[in-house]
Amino acid sequence: MAGPLSVAEARERLCADARERFNKRAASRQTVPLVQACGRVLAQDVVAGVDVPPAANSAMDGYALASVDACAGAVLPVSQQVAAGSVAQPLAAGTCARILTGAELPAGADTVIIQENCERSGDQVTLKQAAQRGDNIRPQGQDIAAGSVVLTAGQRLRAQDVALLASIGCAEVAVQPLLKVAVLATGDELVEPGQPLGAGQIYNSNRYLLAAMLGELGVEVTYLPAVADTLEATTEALRQAASGADIVVSTGGVSVGDADYIKPAVESLGALDIWKIALKPGKPLAFGRVGTTPFFGLPGNPVSAFVTFVLLLEPYVHTMQGAQAAALEIHQRPAQFDRRKAGRRDEYLRGRMTDAGVTLHPQQSSGALSSVNWADCLVWLKAGETVAEGALVQVLPLRQWRAAMV
């Protein structure tokens, strides 16, 4: 009998499925105004149609002149003033032009001497020191050359990317269509925040956790009410979710208890695999389809839901969006803790990086959502690994997932 999958093997299988699905929907790209593009995935390369800057301009306030005249002690008449946005006249030989930052150089000038190195008296300027050809000038195309590829297909557009597109005159951009993800949580014990808790009830935090994390990935999220613990209710909720979604995500109900109905409900509508993964928290992961719509069944414990999301669901969403896949960002830091008892599975513990290394949250229970709120990283301990204080451990910063969206 095959053993549990590693996280890497599970990610590989999931991304292969997502790539196949993306290839089937890639032709439905959209063109959106630039103001709506942040967070979307670029559908094609963008080639600059202009140089940036479009002409050589001054990097400083000062005086533009020919370098042959830029000698210490030279006295030059000021023949014109050039501000950003104005059109300069050709520079008369043996003169200089008062120039402001960002203004285009007049023809005949090849250097700018900063105003601090000059002394002005009326319409004349005395150079207090020499200047060299090209000093304080931004050459034409210094930032971006016309014809160069500035962004490539598969990039998720950040605020700085949108600004870059604006700088080359793009008013709209081709992007991949928005993914629609339906989120539902199962359990009679779930109550929405704002409502009083009855005996045996808990607030439905998973719905808000998953919806917010999906929102950070730039998807359109549909929220379904908590699903009652019956086969009929679970089947109908899944049918509704899949009818308008590209992915269905649920939490809870994937075990084999008397009130766990996700497995038979999904199997009645499509197909389901429950993978055992060498992962703690979050050993079981249900993956399959409702009809033709991919389905993820995440664990019900909130920490397990969080960890399986960032390690397994997030790369699936990225790949199905057409975004460029990225390897996990892993660092090594000294442990500020001891771990004498080895685990039987790979563990992803909630940690916080410090100047001295990395420390652990004191509560590592899969139900301790406060540990996720506190943490800025996951500390990856492999099965059978023990840790002595000061030893190097592998750390996965949580910012790498936050960086998916701006």
Tokens of 105: 């150089």
Do the bridges between strand 118-121 and strand 124-127 make them parallel or antiparallel, or are there none, so unpaired? antiparallel
Distance between CA atoms of 80 and 221, rounded to whole angstroms? Answer: 59
Residue burial 52-76, b: 16+ Cβ < 10 Å; e: rest: bbeebbbebbbbbbbbebbeeebeb
217, 313 Cβ separation under 8 angstroms: no
Tokens of 70: 């830029």
Residue burial 277-297, b: 16+ Cβ < 10 Å; e: rest: bbbbbbbbbbbbbbeebbbbb
| pLDDT 10s digits, 92-131 | 999 999 999 999 999 999 999 999 999 999 999 999 999 9
CATH class of 7-29+177-320: alpha beta
170, 36 Cβ separation under 8 angstroms: no
Q: What is the pTM of this model?
A: 0.84
Domain extent listing, the chain: 7-29+177-320, 46-52+144-175, 57-138, 331-402
| pLDDT 10s digits, 199-256 | 988 888 888 899 899 988 889 999 888 788 889 999 999 999 999 999 999 987 666 5
Do the bridges between strand 57-58 and strand 137-138 make them parallel or antiparallel, or are there none, so unpaired? antiparallel
Residue 94's pLDDT is 96
- pLDDT digit of tens for each residue in the chain (406 aa)? 467 888 889 999 999 999 999 988 767 889 999 999 998 999 999 999 999 999 999 999 999 999 999 999 999 999 999 999 999 999 999 999 999 999 999 999 999 999 999 999 999 999 999 999 999 999 999 999 999 999 999 999 999 999 999 999 999 999 999 999 999 888 778 888 898 999 988 888 888 899 899 988 889 999 888 788 889 999 999 999 999 999 999 987 666 554 578 889 999 999 998 788 889 998 778 899 999 999 999 988 899 999 999 999 999 999 999 987 678 899 999 999 999 888 888 999 999 999 999 999 999 988 888 999 999 999 999 999 999 999 999 999 998 875 443 3
Residue 254's pLDDT is 66
* 331-402 fold: Beta-clip (2.40.340)
Nearest to 259 by CA among 183, 205, 366, 187: 187
Superfamily of segment(s) 57-138: Molybdopterin biosynthesis moea protein, domain 3. (2.170.190.11)
Residue 223's pLDDT is 87
Tokens of 181: 């993800």
